[in-house]
Amino acid sequence: MILDGDLLIGRDIVTGDRLTGPELAASLPPLGIGGGLVTSLRALLFDAPSGNDEARAAAAAHGWQAAFGVDLRDPLTALAEVERAAELGVRAVRLAPDRQHVPASAPGLRAVARAAAAAGLVLLAEGDVRVVGPALAGLGVSAVFVDAHFYHLGDFVLLARDEPGFHASTRLLGDVDAWELLADEAGAERLVFGSRPGWFEAAAVVDRLAASGLTPPQRELVTGGTLTRLLEAA
């Protein structure tokens, strides 16, 4: 079964769409997804502490792992949530600067990333990798860029050459040879399966996996091996 690094529950305040934990759980088996990292949109968009409690409850109920969301508009609370994540044994933190309208140049972004790295936590980073990637460079972070796009694949490869902890999610790498190109240029261990089921055409990402030219060992890395390694190291 696939581990998905990009699971979201809650309500999107922009669109009004909502996805509950049970609804997400019901959608995963037909896709061949057995679990992954879940974040609550409440944590990213409204109230981080209660949203992260919601993510922990959903993870416990469905056999997933929680990724704490932080609100970079309130960097002091964000830092406190990173500390709480580490204390509770949560192994990942999700950053959403674009969703929160926070520029990549904001001091809070690097402060939170630095704190997460110091605590050994994995970062899930939303946004344009060409903008967010350089902001996270030089901090020693382990990060999965969940919005990495095939249009920007070359820039990600260049970043990855200098940053051994940088990884790209599969969700938007839908070009005919993007997965294979990344595997050739940076190594298949830099590619982490993510499909954001319920919010994106996750079946298309699963179909891309089935049609990929990756070798069986490379597929194993993409579908869970690398994410498991990152979380175990956290």
Structural domains of the chain sorted by starting position, each given as residue range(s) with its CATH number in brackets: 2-233 (3.20.20.140)
Task: Give the model's pLDDT for residue 39.
Answer: 99
Angle at 67 between CA 46 and CA 109, to 5 degrees: 65
Amino acid identity at 160: A
In angstroms, the CA 34 to CA 26 distance is: 11
What is the DSSP code string of 30-70? Answer: GGTEEEEEEEEHHHHHT-HHHHHHHHHHHHHHHT-EEEEE-
In angstroms, the CA 69 to CA 51 distance is: 8
234 has a pLDDT exceeding 90: no
Instruction: List pLDDT tens digits, range 124-173.
Output: 999 999 999 999 999 999 999 999 999 999 999 999 999 999 999 999 99
Cβ neighbours, 10 Å, residue 178: 22
176 vs 13, more confident: 13
Instruction: List pLDDT tens digits, range 11-62.
Output: 999 889 999 999 999 999 999 999 999 999 999 999 999 999 999 999 999 9
In angstroms, the CA 74 to CA 108 distance is: 8
Helix 153-162 vs helix 129-136: crossing angle, to nearest 10: 10
pTM of the complete model: 0.96
Check residue 78 and report its DSSP letter: H
Task: Give the model's pLDDT for residue 115.
Answer: 98
In angstroms, the CA 91 to CA 116 distance is: 9
